[in-house]
Amino acid sequence: MERVADRERSPIHTPGQAWRIGIGVLLLALALYLWTLDSGIAAYELVGGDLITHQYAQVQARFSNAPGYPLYTMGGWLWFHGLRPLLGRVANPVQILSLYSTFWALIALALLYTLMLRVTRRNAIISALLTLAYAVTYFFWYYAVTTEQYASAVAHTLAIVLVAFAWERAVEEGDEKRADRLLLLLAFLLGLGLAHMVTVLVIGPPVVWFVWRTDPRVWKRWRLLLKAALLAALPLLAYTYVYIRGAQHPEWRGEGSWPNTLSWFLYFLSTPQGRGELTWSLGGFTDLFPSLIWRELTWPVLILGLVGIRWLGKRRAILFYSTLLLYFILCYIDRYGNWFQVIMPAYPLIFLGLAALAQGVWDAVEAYPRSAAQTARGVLALALFLLVVNRFVVNYARADQSHRPIDTGLDPGWRLLADEPAPHAAIFGVVEEKLALDYITVIWGYRPDVRAVGLEEAKRILEEDSRPLYVSTQAAPLFFEEMKTPVRVASAGLYLLRVGRRLPPLYAPPESAHPLDIYFGNQVRLVGYELHRPPKDIPVRLPWRLTLYWQALKRQQVDWSVSVRPTRKGEFIYVDGSLVQSDHAHPAHGYRPTSSWQPLEVVRDDYPIPADPRLRFDGITVVLYRSLGDGRFENLGIGTFPVNPPPEEKRP
Q: How is 211-231 classified by DSSP, letter by letter?
A: HHHH-GGGGG-HHHHHHHHHH
Predicted TM-score (pTM) of this structure? 0.91
For residue 649, what pLDDT is reported? Answer: 52
Cα separation, 333 vs 323, whole angstroms? 16
CA dihedral 352, 357, 359, 364 (to 10 degrees): 170
Taking only the tens place, the pLDDT of each residue in 201-236 is 999 999 999 999 999 999 899 999 999 999 999 999
For residue 322, what pLDDT is reported? Answer: 98
Task: Point out the residues of the chain with pLDDT beneath 50.
Answer: 1-8, 651-652
Question: In sequence order, what are the beta bridge partners of 545?
Answer: 532, 608
Q: Which helix (H) or strand (E) holds 174?
A: none
Boundaries of every domain in the chain: 4-399, 411-500, 514-642
CA dihedral 34, 36, 39, 42 (to 10 degrees): -160
For residue 278, what pLDDT is reported? Answer: 58
Cα separation, 138 vs 187, whole angstroms? 31
Which backbone phi and psi does 414 adopt, to 5 degrees?
A: -60, -35
Sign of CA dihedral 328, 332, 338, 340: positive
Classify 198 as helix, strand or coil: helix
For residue 633, what pLDDT is reported? Answer: 86
The one-character DSSP state at 289 is T
For residue 6, what pLDDT is reported? Answer: 47
- 514-642 topology per CATH: Coagulation Factor XIII; Chain A, domain 1 (2.70.50)
Name the residue type at position 171.
V
**Termini Cα distance of the chain:** 55
For residue 7, what pLDDT is reported? Answer: 44
Question: In sequence order, what are the beta bridge partners of 496?
Answer: 472
For residue 1, what pLDDT is reported? Answer: 40
Are 466 and 436 contacting, i.e. CB atoms less than 8 angstroms apart? no
Q: In terms of residues, how long is the chain?
A: 652
Taking only the tens place, the pLDDT of each residue in 258-300 is 999 999 999 888 876 555 555 666 677 888 899 999 999 999 9
